[in-house]
Amino acid sequence: MRVFEHPTTATNPVPRSSIVVIRLDPLASVASLNDEQATREAGALGVKKVLAVYQRHLGLEYSPEFKGFRIRAQFLLAGPGLPAAPLSAASLPISPASSSQDPDARAAVKTSPPLPRDDCYIHTLHSILVVVSRIYQPGNIVGYNLSEEDKMHMELTRMADHEIHSDALAERYADELSDSGSVAPVGSRAEPSLDDSISEHASGSGASGADFADDFHPQVQVVHPDEELPQLEVQVEMWTELLSDDDLGTPDEFNDVIGRLYEIEREYRNRAIIEELAKKPQTNAWLSKISAEAPDRDEGSSTSHDEREEREVGDLVLPEDAIEHRLEREAACIQTTELPVSSAQGPSDHCKSELRASSVPMFTERPVRVSVRARFPTSLVSWIRKTFSSLARSSGL
């Protein structure tokens, strides 16, 4: 038996759209959590093999360790018997299963070589996205291949069932989410439901390595700053043929184990959060020490609160700081009429402060007749006012 450890798209011998046997690998799925309790609980899970249609690659990720793209693929689950009610009609028989057992009497798809069981159906609504951790090739069989016609038939049936049973499917997911408290759909981590073009599925019947260019749609994974905890990665082992002593499980049993894996992950996250909170007293003690050593901002300062507030407000740029308002205040202080100003009696203190604020020089050295027109020509004042009015209108002020 050939075994492919950590297979890549280049070493994968299985063609697309072929029926294979898969089994959940719980230990590999929780390995990224690096938690003893999660590993122990995952190792105690009972898992069974299940039939699946190996459909396509999604979100390929290059692994420097394995020098290739890991197999991250979508599978359509299959197994003995019809799906549970009310979704029993969402199925497709695999020859030599009898079509008469199918409520819709759908034609069975045929495989090459023939599947050595006569009671298996494709469950068209049970799709999963997983990473293949290992491939076993017992003999010369590399999957049970479907003809191009049957691939098209399977894809059309799957798309029709998603449309026909959308309400029942939504109700089933709602029940599962309310029971488990998980926000991830069964079998995936909020992966999108893919109803791609039929031509994509109908093309490329060779090995996945040869079809790599058609499947190559790498995903750019965005790591959010608050997602520091490792995540569960559902992984499966894959067999290229069905053995005589294989005890096949159903897609529902397969999904139940996946649900349990997500429960293990959720419990791990709860423990990690509790452990982090337990360290909080140390953090608070450290912050208290730092705060005690920090100097008081008001120590050694005789500045009153009102003075500090006045200084802070004085640094602000207010509407009355506009040139127009400053000119009007200056005109009010100096007066628009020409008044004699002697060296003995200059502008008042209030006017001086206004003049300083407007950055206009004061002349108190000798008697002089001061007017606004003398210091700011009428044309200049008019131009300044028009310019700022235009700027105010254009900026929406």
**In this predicted structure, what is the pLDDT of residue 69?**
92
3-state helix, strand, coil in the chain (%, to 5): 40, 20, 40
- The predicted-structure confidence for 45-85, as pLDDT tens digits, reads as follows 999 999 999 998 887 888 888 889 999 999 999 999 999 88
- Range in 27-31, 163-167, 218-222, 306-310 with the lowest mean pLDDT: 218-222
Bigger pLDDT: 25 or 194? 25
CA-CA distance, 123 to 125, in Å (whole number)?
A: 6
Instruction: Tell me: pLDDT of 195 over 60.
Output: no
Residues 6+ apart with CB under 8 A from 307: none
Instruction: Tell me: pLDDT of 251 over 60.
Output: yes
In the three-class reduction of DSSP (H, G, I as helix; E, B as strand; rest coil), residue 21 is classed as: strand
CA-CA distance, 171 to 177, in Å (whole number)?
A: 10
- The predicted-structure confidence for 200-235, as pLDDT tens digits, reads as follows 333 333 444 334 333 433 433 433 434 578 899 999
**In this predicted structure, what is the pLDDT of residue 32?**
92
CA-CA distance, 234 to 188, in Å (whole number)?
A: 8
- Range in 7-16, 143-152, 356-365 with the lowest mean pLDDT: 356-365
**In this predicted structure, what is the pLDDT of residue 349?**
55
Percent of the chain residues past pLDDT 70, beyond the cut: 58
The strand pair at 50-57 and 72-80 is best described as: antiparallel
This prediction has a pTM of 0.60
Percent of the chain residues past pLDDT 90, beyond the cut: 40
Instruction: Tell me: pLDDT of 385 over 90.
Output: no
**In this predicted structure, what is the pLDDT of residue 115?**
94
- Range in 62-71, 111-120, 354-363, 386-395 with the lowest mean pLDDT: 354-363
SS (H, E, C) 103-150: CCCCCCECEECCCCCCCEEEEEEEEEEEEEEEEEECCCCCCEEECHHH
Instruction: Tell me: pLDDT of 365 over 80.
Output: no
- Mean pLDDT over 344-365 rounds to 48
pLDDT band of 358, cuts 50, 70, 90: very low
Task: Look at the chain and count its residues.
Answer: 397
CA-CA distance, 143 to 21, in Å (whole number)?
A: 8
- The predicted-structure confidence for 291-347, as pLDDT tens digits, reads as follows 776 666 555 555 555 665 555 555 555 556 566 666 677 767 665 444 454 444 455
- Range in 14-28, 47-61, 166-180 with the lowest mean pLDDT: 166-180
Average pLDDT of every residue of the chain? 74
Instruction: Tell me: pLDDT of 194 over 80.
Output: no
- Two tokens, residue 190: 């909020």
pLDDT band of 127, cuts 50, 70, 90: very high
Maximum mean pLDDT: which of 32-46, 164-178, 344-358: 32-46
Bigger pLDDT: 337 or 145? 145
Cα atoms in the 13 Å half-sphere on the side-chain side of 160: 12
**In this predicted structure, what is the pLDDT of residue 197?**
35
